[in-house]
Amino acid sequence: MTTFDYREVPPGTYLCTVAEVRVGRTTAGDERWSLRLLVADGPHAGLHAAWDNLVFSPRGYARARRVLRTLGLPGKERILPADLEGRRAMVEVREATYVNQSDEGYIARNEVPYDGYREAP
């Protein structure tokens, strides 16, 4: 079996910058913002830490609010995806492995746990 390893940094907690936000929809039709997180300092500076998703659904609102607040965007009436770019937070990343449906191999990448964000120092 083939393993595709997309991890650029080991599991841990890093000061990260939101480098990019891609807007899309979940399979259920809910709005989803995918955040590309880059390590901002230290020996892994500039490397890709993880992609993380904010889902704007009844189930996902609590986490989305928590992440937006941690990124310094509390209380704002209308937040646009571009408002997140350049924002920083301490982000925990951990390894996750998934089955690759196309060739029955595996995909290894980093993911951010539900409560994996802390305010940047």
Q: Mind listing the domains of the chain with CATH numbers?
A: 3-119 (2.40.50)
For the stretch 1-27, pLDDT in tens is: 678 889 999 999 999 999 999 999 999
Q: Check the CA dihedral 37-49-38-67 and report its sign.
A: positive
DSSP per-residue string spanning 46-68: TSEEEEEEEEESTTTHHHHHHHH
Q: How much is the pTM?
A: 0.92
Tens digits of residue pLDDT in 67-117? 999 999 986 678 999 999 999 999 999 999 988 776 778 899 999 999 999
